[in-house]
Amino acid sequence: MDNSTKIKYINPLSVLVINTQGFMRQVYTPFRVQSLQQTGQIPALAWVYVDCVYEDEKDRLLYLVGGRLYPYWCFRLRIQF
């Protein structure tokens, strides 16, 4: 493989979640997350919907919420396996 080839692991319409027991679940947009802190116009502990999933230039996960991009670590994604 050419070293200049970049493999994308981000799907803009879903995220793959792995729990502590190693079970995986794919969650499709729009999915609901809870803000962990005040972030932009989103108050702390507010429930919002992620419309799309992106990555930045350093391959960090970003969520599109209300037309703005936020880092994934500003939110908690609660799902049941």
> pLDDT, tens digit, for every residue of 12-65?
999 988 899 999 999 999 999 999 999 999 999 999 999 999 999 898 999 999
Query: What is d(CA 9, CA 63) in angstroms, rounded to the nearest whole number?
Result: 15
Provide the pLDDT confidence category of residue 70 given band limits of 50, 70 and 90: very high
Confirm whether 33 is domain-assigned: yes
Which run of H or E residues covers position 69? strand 68-71
**Residue 8, domain member (yes or no):** no
**Opening angle at CA 48, ends 19 and 66, nearest 5:** 125
Instruction: Write phi, then psi, for 52 (nearest 5 degrees).
Output: -160, 160
pLDDT surpassing 80 at residue 9: no
**pLDDT of 10 higher than 90:** no
Q: Is residue 2 very low, low, confident or very high in pLDDT (cuts 50, 70, 90)?
A: low
Structural tokens at position 28: 């499709």
| Sole residue written with tokens 């792995």 | 18
The range of the structural domain enclosing residue 38 comes to 14-76
